[in-house]
Amino acid sequence: MYSLYFDPGLGAMIIQSIVAAVAAILLFSKNILYKVKAFFGLTKKDNDELFDDINVKESDIDNTSN
């Protein structure tokens, strides 16, 4: 039977690789799900006119103080 020695550096490297793998899987699956939803038209449309409902008068913009 072989016994392996795990020093703190190797343990930290193993934990870091596990965390990186989980993060990569989550981000990759989120991107794939977004593309599938976009293909079927299930995504929400972006509201580009975010400030459209703000009423700013032309005189307010042109009025500069001396």
Over residues 8-64, the pLDDT tens digits come to 888 889 999 999 999 999 988 888 888 888 888 887 766 555 556 666 677 767 655
Q: CA distances (Å), 25 to each of 15, 18, 22, 30, 35, in order?
A: 15, 11, 5, 8, 15
Residues in Cβ contact with 43 at an 8 Å cutoff, skipping those fewer than 6 apart? 34, 37
Q: DSSP characters for 26-60?
A: HHHHHHHHHHHHHHHT-SPPP-S-TTTT----HHH
Residue 42, pLDDT score: 81
Q: Would you say the C-alpha torsion 15, 20, 23, 26 has a positive or negative sign?
A: negative
pLDDT of residue 11: 84
Q: What is the pTM of this model?
A: 0.47
Q: What is the pLDDT of residue 8?
A: 82
pLDDT at 45: 67
